[in-house]
Amino acid sequence: MKKTVTIALASLLAVSPVAGIAYAQDTTTGVTADTMATGSITADQVNVVTIASLEADESGRSEGERLSLKAKDPAALEQAQAELQSDPALAQILASKNVQLTNVVEIKTAADGGKVVYVK
């Protein structure tokens, strides 16, 4: 009996690291090697939100008001423009979505690595 239990435990310990590796490789589902290497984003990962749409929505009104004030602050707009200049891929995606880059007020990174771009 003792020998059977020892063999069973030894086989479990031998197989457990293999299962851990397989599971760890599965965590990058949906991320290609190119995306991981370059850190680039696709057009599907960029959401453009207008400040007016936030102000019209009851739940987003306070965020809309904050962004409206930020849109009147030249230093904040300069910061958004500098961020756009440092990320040409994002600027290109916004241009393809017919967003005037001078209207960008704030850029946030979403949990999935995508971008949320707030515009006037």
Render pLDDT for 31-89 as a digit per residue (tens, 0 to 9). 444 343 346 789 999 999 999 998 888 888 899 899 999 999 999 999 999 999 999 99
| The token pair that represents 49 in the structure block | 């939100």
Does the pTM surpass 0.75? The reply is no
Query: Which of 45, 46, 106, 47 is CA-nearest to residue 75?
Result: 106
57: Cβ contacts below 8 Å, ≥ 6 apart: 64
Per the listing, tokens 């771009």 go with: 117
Distance from the first to the final alpha carbon of the chain: 75
Q: Is residue 108 pLDDT above 50, yes or no? A: yes
3-state secondary structure at position 109: strand
At position 7, the amino acid (one-letter code) is I
Higher-confidence residue of 83 and 5: namely 83
Average pLDDT, the chain: 78
